[in-house]
Amino acid sequence: ITVACHDAERIRFNQLIGTYSFDFLGVYLSENHEIYRQWIGVIDNKSKKDKGPQGWIKLSITLLGPGDRQKVHNIEEEIDKELKDDFEAGQIGGMVLSGPTMKQELNFLVVTIFRGEDLPNYSSMGTPSIKAYVRVDFAANPKTARTRAVSV
């Protein structure tokens, strides 16, 4: 499940601001089959100049299968309680649409390609030639691997 936020201005209509993806099974296996009133940071993985969250969206997602019942929430009561709790604590967090502090952690994805087999040995011109490469897409970030030409 991918949530995308776009710019609706006339000049830059439909320009992507950022996206966030949920795992379908992860949402369904959550309590009440829902992600409820959760802040998400939308990230633009297609732009090299945009780093980190481009903004925050508070949303709910519910996935129901046959025989499942949706939990009914009293949204007005919950918002009033959030505002009261924030006011008593001297904060305005419930009134300001800003996301929570998110811990960022550096991780690595390592993909090793050992060899290719049975690749077509002809170019579009019909001459014996192959210039194959490997591309890995992860989190909407396509990366072309550095390759060496090896003739066998």
- Mean pLDDT (whole number) for 71-91: 83
Of 48-62, 69-83, 118-132, give the lowest mean pLDDT range.
118-132
105-114 confidence digits (pLDDT tens) = 666 666 666 6
31-68 confidence digits (pLDDT tens) = 999 988 888 888 887 777 777 788 888 888 898 888 88
What span, in angstroms and rounded, lies between the C-alpha atoms of 55 and 5?
9
> What region, left, alpha or beta, does residue 140 occupy, with left being phi > 0 and alpha being psi -120 to 50 degrees?
left
Domain boundaries, the chain: 2-67
pTM passes above 0.75? no
What span, in angstroms and rounded, lies between the C-alpha atoms of 38 and 8?
23
Long-range contacts of 141-147, Cβ-Cβ distance < 8 Å, separation of 24 or more: 141/45, 145/111, 145/113
